[in-house]
């Protein structure tokens, strides 16, 4: 059986587009995972996306994860609440000064705790200053992402509140796939 999936593409074209969320309450820190770790990145991917049908990377080998994470301009920023990973944002430098937010989200137990807005704000800011950490890359001219109707119910609102603008919408038919859950391959 197929289902209709709407995919929205959004962008910012200036650092001034960012409308940051308020700082999170409590012991919430956002830290770059500076050492490429396929194990940790796969954990984040499955823990955040398992209940919302993130399946495209489940077949990736260890070597493919390692190769991707070691690329210049790929960064993973992790939110921790009281020392526990709560969610992440993954950035990828692309051609002509574009930076894509490839993945962003919270582990289900941390949703609704007012961490998503600050984590997304931090990720956007790090996308805009990515070339400061990667001197061989051009300055960021555009930050973009896509989200779809399968993502969390608050995703689109969070993107719009952070200053993203819609630039494309597509509706496709995709096979209905059961959400694998966070334990796939654990």
pLDDT tens for 122-141 read: 999 999 999 999 999 999 99
Range of the domain at 11: 2-175
Is 182 inside a domain boundary? no
Is 84 inside a domain boundary? yes
Q: How would you label 147-165 residue by residue, b for 16+ Cβ within 10 Å and e otherwise?
A: bbebbbeebbebbeebbbe
Distance of alpha carbon 152 from alpha carbon 163, whole angstroms: 18
Residue 183 — pLDDT band, cuts 50, 70, 90? low
User: What would the pLDDT profile of 140-157 be if each residue is shown by its tens digit?
Assistant: 999 999 999 888 888 999
Is 122 inside a domain boundary? yes
Assigned token pair, 97:
């000064």
For the entire predicted model, the pTM comes to 0.94
pLDDT at 61: 96
Domain count, the chain: 1
Is 186 inside a domain boundary? no
User: What would the pLDDT profile of 91-121 be if each residue is shown by its tens digit?
Assistant: 999 999 999 999 999 999 999 999 999 999 9
In order of 6, 15, 74, 93, 119, the CA distances from 139 in angstroms are: 31, 11, 15, 10, 22
Is 185 inside a domain boundary? no
Is 151 inside a domain boundary? yes
Query: Residue 47 forms beta bridges with which residues?
Result: none
């Amino acid at each position: 059986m197929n289902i209709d999936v709407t995919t929205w593409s959004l962008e910012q074209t200036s650092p001034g587009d960012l409308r940051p969320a308020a700082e999170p309450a409590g012991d919430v820190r956002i830290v770059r995972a500076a050492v490429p770790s396929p194990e940790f990145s796969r954990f984040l991917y499955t823990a955040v996306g398992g209940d919302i049908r993130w399946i495209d990377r489940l077949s990736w080998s260890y070597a493919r994860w390692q190769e991707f994470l070691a690329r210049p301009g790929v960064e993973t920023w992790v939110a921790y609440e009281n020392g526990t990973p709560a969610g992440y944002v993954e950035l990828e430098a692309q051609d002509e000064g574009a930076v894509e937010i490839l993945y962003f989200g919270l582990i289900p137990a941390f949703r609704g705790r007012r961490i998503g807005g600050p984590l997304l704000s931090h990720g956007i800011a790090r996308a805009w200053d990515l070339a400061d950490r990667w001197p061989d890359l051009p300055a960021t001219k555009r930050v973009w992402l896509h989200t779809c109707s399968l993502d969390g119910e608050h995703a689109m609102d969070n993107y719009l509140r952070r200053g993203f603008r819609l630039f494309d919408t597509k509706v496709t038919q995709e096979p209905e796939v059961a959400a694998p859950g966070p334990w796939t391959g654990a």
